[in-house]
Amino acid sequence: MATEATTASKFQDPDLRPVSQFKPETAHDGLRFWQFMIAGSIAGSVEHMAMFPVDTIKTHMQALRPCPLKRVGIREAFRSIIQKEGPSALYRGIWAMGLGAGPAHAVYFSFYEVSKKFLSSDSNNSAAHAASGVFATVSSDAVFTPMDMVKQRLQMGEGTYRGVWDCVRRVMREEGFGAFYASYRTTVLMNAPFTAVHFAAYEAAKKALVEVSPERVGDEEGWLVHATAGAAAGGLAAAVTTPLDVVKTQLQCQGVCGCDRFTSSSISDVLKTIVKKDGYRGLLRGWLPRMLFHAPAAAICWSTYEGVKSFFQDFNGDPNTA
């Protein structure tokens, strides 16, 4: 038996954490699983609520309508929304976002933290960060996609729906439960690389900033490290996944306010329709507001998340910092 144990230890990867030593109820960083969920929920809600008007503009720019298409910039989209419906239209659908963002981000960050610790004991393992991000987004998108669809239909609605529950009831009655998940496959295919790039870039940028200015990590300016790293990671990830975001928006807004309706949720069919009607530039519609959304949103999200984690660490009496 001793020989077997010695042999097994020789082939054990020092970067991998043995399953027997992994305890999800205590997680890591001195926090418990439920504390990661609360931190993620608060961070996600603050992020999306703060940046909601920019998201509304992006949705209007990406929606594909049967009328002749022309390039619409941020200024034109903003002016059109304000002139037609007033400033309040920028916040239409925000309650759907609130209902979805909190629970989804609770799942998102808690799965990320637990997966990161499970996959590797090395805090600088970029592959583990990327893989953990993919696991987190597949799980959280299952929670968030239905309310994201409701949110985008309300953003485009122009009076089509009276509110969140009216939209839910009508979609269920007219299109069936499957309509809430029509874009789920596209969302996962978009968010998997988005999150892999985002988390890997965030952890790498945070590490680099800490090495440049280690004295600021533990003081009141530590939030700036998280915000800067988050903004860089969010902007980069948003830029490379814009085409799939356009597909997702059109699947979720189909049939609303003259937007095209598709016979299937096939990604290739939607891509062909976009290219046919708007050329390849159509795949990049809304890329700028998407970056303008995700860069500050990620900065807000990560600094809020790390701040709440720090609060729980003090509450638990754990001296470690994130």
Question: Domains plus CATH for the chain?
Answer: 33-314 (1.50.40.10)
DSSP 69: P
Tell whether the torsion through CA atoms of 265, 269, 274 and 280 is positive or negative. positive
Q: Is the model's pLDDT at 311 over the cut of 70?
A: yes
CA dihedral 120→123→128→133, nearest 10 degrees, is 130
Q: Lowest mean pLDDT: which of 33-47, 85-99, 199-213?
A: 199-213
Quick one: average pLDDT of 107-130?
Answer: 82
The span from the CA of 139 to the CA of 307, in Å, is 24
* Amino acid type, 149: M
Give the chain's largest Cα–Cα span. 78
Closest by Cα among 260, 236, 313, 249 to 286:
249
The span from the CA of 243 to the CA of 284, in Å, is 6
Mean pLDDT of the chain: 79
Higher model confidence: residue 319 or residue 317?
Answer: 317
Structure tokens at 149: 């669809």
The span from the CA of 120 to the CA of 129, in Å, is 9
**Are 293 and 58 spatial neighbours (Cβ–Cβ below 8 Å)?**
yes
Higher model confidence: residue 305 or residue 30?
Answer: 305
**Are 115 and 139 spatial neighbours (Cβ–Cβ below 8 Å)?**
no
Closest by Cα among 45, 75, 5 to 288:
75
- Cα-atom radius of gyration of the chain, to the nearest Å? 21
Residue for token digits 């961070």? 43
Q: Is the model's pLDDT at 270 over the cut of 70?
A: yes
Task: List C-alpha distances in Å: 246 to 1, 150, 251.
Answer: 59, 16, 9
At 258 the pLDDT is 60
The span from the CA of 218 to the CA of 216, in Å, is 6
H/E segment holding residue 288: helix 287-316
Instruction: Give the length of the chain.
Output: 322
Q: Is the model's pLDDT at 159 over the cut of 80?
A: no
